[in-house]
């Protein structure tokens, strides 16, 4: 039986290919922009208010993810992880900031309900809810960006998209 390879970490790689991005928040919530550094650790670049944008000089091999204030996943150009595209330039040389749209995904009914319950029930009271243990456990597990990054890295390795 072949040994399974360790997941390739989702992280920035060295690159000289600079690109210019304008992250535009099309969701109705603040969107926190997170760059994944060379170790795969998230580095916050602050919040983008709904309808506002954040211009960023970045590199092709630098992944970005976005989260709402409660830790809920947001999408960048419909992807959980955004990798910048090749830089584009205006006719006379200056870079064009390419729009990248940050949006809320279509949450499953279970995800949506869990978010709602977490917002109205204190964490210490979740164990008192008269619901199945599995749901209680899911509710106790708050969104965690580091866990999400690890999961995204594992999925990336399985799908072979390095």
Residue 126 burial class via C-beta count within 10 angstroms: exposed 0-12, middle 13-18, buried 19 and up: middle
Give the pLDDT score at 1: 40
Give the pLDDT score at 24: 99
Asked whether residue 96 falls in the same domain as residue 126, the answer is: no
Question: Does 86 reside within a domain?
Answer: yes
Question: Does 137 reside within a domain?
Answer: yes
Print the domain residue range for 42.
13-104
Asked whether residue 35 falls in the same domain as residue 87, the answer is: yes
User: Max CA-CA distance within the chain?
Assistant: 65
Asked whether residue 122 falls in the same domain as residue 79, the answer is: no
Percentages helix, strand, coil for the chain (3-state, rounded to 5) are: 25, 30, 45
Asked whether residue 111 falls in the same domain as residue 82, the answer is: no
Whole-model pTM: value is 0.84
User: pLDDT per residue over 116-142, tens digit each?
Assistant: 999 999 989 999 999 999 989 888 888
Asked whether residue 80 falls in the same domain as residue 34, the answer is: yes
Q: Mean pLDDT, to the nearest integer, of 80-95?
A: 92
Which domain CATH number covers 18? Answer: 2.60.40.780
Asked whether residue 111 falls in the same domain as residue 87, the answer is: no
Question: Does 32 reside within a domain?
Answer: yes
């Amino acid at each position: 039986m072949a040994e399974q390879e360790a997941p390739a970490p989702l992280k920035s790689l060295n690159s000289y290919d600079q690109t210019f991005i304008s992250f535009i928040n099309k969701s109705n919530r603040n969107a926190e922009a997170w760059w994944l550094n060379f170790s795969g650790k998230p580095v916050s670049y602050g919040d983008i208010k709904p309808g506002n944008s954040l211009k960023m000089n970045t590199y092709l091999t630098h992944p970005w993810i976005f989260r709402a204030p409660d830790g809920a996943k947001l999408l960048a150009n419909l992807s959980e992880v955004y990798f910048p595209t090749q830089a584009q330039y205006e006719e006379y040389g200056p870079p064009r900031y390419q729009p990248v749209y940050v949006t809320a995904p279509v949450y499953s009914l279970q995800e949506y309900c869990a978010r709602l319950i977490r917002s109205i029930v204190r964490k210490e009271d979740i164990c008192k809810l008269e619901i199945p243990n599995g749901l209680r456990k899911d509710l106790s597990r708050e969104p965690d960006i580091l866990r999400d990054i690890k999961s995204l890295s594992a999925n990336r390795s399985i799908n072979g998209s390095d």
